[in-house]
Chains A and B, each alone.
Chain A
Amino acid sequence: MSLRLLLVEDDRELRATLREALLVEGYQVLTAASLAEAVAMYGQTQLVEGGTQGFDLILLDLGLPDGDGSDLLVKLRRKQSTPVIIISAREAEGQKIRMLDEGADDYLVKPFSIGELLARMRVALRHRGNQVRAAVTRYEQGDLMIDLANHRVSRKGDAVHLTPTEFNLLARLVRSAGQVVTHRQLLVDVWGQEYLDHTHYLRLYMGQLRAKLEDNPAEPQWLLTEPGVGYRLLDTES
């Protein structure tokens, strides 16, 4: 059975283009052009299909004619963990970070390529329903192997020694492999609420991790920086 997507985008051209491209990839695509329409469609699927099988993923534009897409995100997040990818023309990082912290799975700034969108969608779908399923505990990319359950990290077959803080930071990124994790999420999850404004901890420990895990820390392959937003552990399966 093909996956069901809800595409909320008010621009007709972009909506049509994205819809075609996603249909080609084999997704079942429903579209909405306004916030009201999106809410109605979302409610309908819930009624018809008994509330358990709604959409598998939602692509949400923020600047809609009848309101802000973020309202829908908040509404959605109260009930369900359907993955949401924000697509927006706004490049204000403040907005980006807020949406991610409010539970959006990813954020794409227009313009973006179809390839980029599909990759992000694959990551989001893989992480779908993390609450019920076992979380990602193993990460293997290239010559890098991270096994969270057994606290083992190796590179080119050799074991890499990490300090507890380094390991916790890496583990947090592995659990969201392929997805951007904001500074805030990392600081709260690894150090605690009171370290919210200690971004320099992240700079320091990420630097140490890159030095231990990357061939060339100045051009990291796996531990990627999203300037002004956070970090992303690359996931090439996506």
Chain B
Amino acid sequence: MNALTSSQQLMRYGIGLAIWLLGWCLLLFFDTHFDPVNLSLILVLTSAIAALWLPLSVTLLASVVALFAFNWAFVPPRGTFTINLHQHTVLLIAMMLVNIIIAGLMVFLREQSRRAHAYAQAAEELRIWGDKLRDADEPGLLLEDLHQALERLSGEKVNYPVTLVALDGKLPTDNVPAALRHIGSVNPEHEEALWHCLRSGQALGPGTGHYQELDALYLPLRGRSMTSGAAMITGIHSADEFSVLTQAQALCDQMGAALERHHIQQRERQARDQAQAQTVRNTLLAAISHDYRTPLATIMGAASSLDQQSERLSDTQRQQLARSIVDEADRLRRLTNNVLQLARLDAIGVNIQGDWESAEEIIGSVMRRMRGHDPQQRLNTKLEPDLPLLWGDSLLLSQLLENLIDNSLKYSPPESPINVSAYVDKLHLVLAVRDQGTGIAAADYEQIFEVFQRGDHRKTGGAGGTGIGLALCRAIARAHGGELEFHATAAGASFECHLPLRAQPVNPESHL
């Protein structure tokens, strides 16, 4: 659809002239065999065929020249421009008119087919572009492609093609450059025009009817209800600026529509996520307040007893009550820690603040805390020698292990041993807690997790504190790129936290 390049044009002239040459050869060849009327038909034929390649002006010029030459060479008296017979005059005039009409028709036809071809090409381009945008997860990333398309359209390599897009689907109140994404570089003048184009949603520049005096075209990326961006193209000077403009605007609008669609989808997803998060939070709050009641009830009972019945209690009874207050307060402390870590994990997501940590140290610090809850010495530790270092958050990992041990202490038969171990399994470091109980039933285990995932708090039932603790364990394992696994066998239950190993840091001995 662009202007023909010069080499193509040259070839067309060549073919046209060759046909004329061939025609004349035929005329000269048949000269003595046919009378002028028949010969004139060859000339008409030649003119018609040549018109397929030559532009209108050349065809007309060639026809007129050929007519005079024919008159001179073939119409008696030969060698002059005079015509003896009147019928030959009619013949020549008719021939000229037919030549002109045919040439005109041919050129018109050619133009038509060229247009049809160009339209088909433009439509195809729009279709491909539309498909590409539809398939893209993030249409904003296709800005480069839009550029290339616009560049192809303008027909020449331009120095600073620029697109700028409001990425979050909302236009800032001020023209702050940070809110937008540029491709290519712009001067302040261009930037101002781009902003104007973006805010008004109107195309600016030559051929658009707005600010015709501008040296470049500014096209808005329009969606149904908003303009998501603006593009600037330079270098459109060809004759059919109008159709190039239409095509460029169509490409830009497709992009605009795709961007708008994307923003809307994003907003919907956010709203959905928020609603989901809210439900999960409500479930958690319900479960947490339920879990707080039990220790609080014990504390309240023991403390009020000390307060109101003090003089009727024996020393041993008073001591027992005080002891239970301390124990239950400690339970509340651990519950609070779980809730805090869960909130913390929720806030940081998967971007934990990691450091190199040692499994031995994590187990050591947790064991020291848990020994107080293990008067019967049920806990045993078993560590593989020379364990590699872990990359993770030691507080979270300690919390995970503490919850697993606490869970085993609660749900396995009294006085049965509990083994805490750490070992390497292929590319993972495994922290495992094994007991001789049934743990919690496997079905309950899955359900506990689902409860917190789906946020269906009617199902929480008695799972309570274990649920929060285990949900936290799983969240911690996943935040470290690992997984929490539960296995129940006849011999007992085991919770295993599989954490991926990283390439180990350099041994200090090598450069000390």
Q: Which of A91, A113, A206 contacts B361 (CB 8 A)?
A: A206
Cβ of A216 within 8 Å of any chain B Cβ, yes or no, is: yes
| Residues of chain B contacted by A224 (CB below 8 angstroms) | 364-365, 368
B369-412 toward A: CB 8 Å interface, digit per residue (1/0)?
00100000000011100000100011101100000000000000
Q: A91 contacts which chain B residues (CB < 8 A)? A: 337, 340
Q: How far is the CB of A224 from chain B (nearest CB, A)?
A: 7
B244 within 8 A of A: no
**Counting CB contacts under 8 A, is B241 at the interface?**
no
Complex interface bits, A204-238 against B, C-beta within 8 A gives 1, otherwise 0: 11110010000011111000111110000000000
Whether B508 and A201, one on each chain, are in contact in the complex, defined by CB atoms closer than 8 angstroms, is yes
Q: What residues of A have a CB within 8 angstroms of the CB of B364 in the complex?
A: 210, 217-220, 224-225
Q: Which residues of A contact B507 (CB under 8 A)?
A: 204
**Are the C-beta atoms of B365 and A210 separated by less than 8 Å?**
no
Q: Is there an interface contact between A203 and B389, defined as CB atoms closer than 8 Å?
A: yes
Known pairs A203-B357, A224-B365; A216 contacts B395 (CB<8 A): no
List the A side residues contacting B356 at CB < 8 Å.
Answer: 199-200, 203
Evaluate whether A207 and B358 lie within 8 angstroms (CB atoms) in the complex, with A200-B389, A218-B363, A218-B381 already known.
Answer: yes
The answer to whether residues A216 and B357 also contact, given A111-B329, A198-B508, A224-B364 and a CB cut-off of 8 A, is no
B361 contact set on A, CB distance < 8 A: 203, 206-207, 225, 227
List the B residue with the shortest CB-CB distance to A227.
B394
Asked if B66 is at the interface of the complex by the 8 Å CB criterion, the answer is: no
Q: Any chain A CB within 8 A of the CB of B291?
A: no
Cβ of B288 within 8 Å of any chain A Cβ, yes or no, is: no
| Interface contact B367-A228, CB-CB below 8 Å | no
B398/A227 in contact, CB under 8 A: yes
Whether A204 touches B508, Cβ cut-off 8 Å, given contacts A111-B329, A227-B398, A228-B395, is: yes
List of B residues within 8 angstroms of A199 by Cβ = 355-356
Min CB gap B502→A, angstroms:
11
Bound-complex Cα distance A204 to B356 (A): 10
Query: In the assembled complex, which residues on chain A have CB atoms less than 8 Å from the CB atom of B333?
Result: 111
Closest CB in chain B relative to A74 CB, distance in Å: 25
Q: In this complex, what residue of B is CB-closest to A204? A: B508
Tell me the smallest distance from the CB of A98 to a CB of chain B, in Å: 14
Closest-by-CB residue of A relative to B512 is A165
Asked whether A11 is an interface residue with its Cβ less than 8 Å from the other chain, the reply is no
Contact A226/B365 with A207-B360, A218-B383, A219-B381 known, Cβ cut-off 8 Å: yes
Residues 109-145 of A at the B interface (beta carbon under 8 Å) = 111, 113
Whether a CB of chain A sits under 8 angstroms from the CB of B488 is no
Would you give the shortest CB distance from A50 to chain B, in whole angstroms?
43
The reply on A37 being an interface residue by CB < 8 A is: no
By a CB distance below 8 angstroms, the chain B residues around A204 are 389, 507-508
A228–B394 touching, CB < 8 Å: yes
**B333 — nearest CB in chain A belongs to which residue?**
A111
Known pairs A200-B505, A225-B361. 6 more at Cβ < 8 A?
A: A93-B395, A199-B355, A203-B389, A206-B361, A224-B364, A227-B361
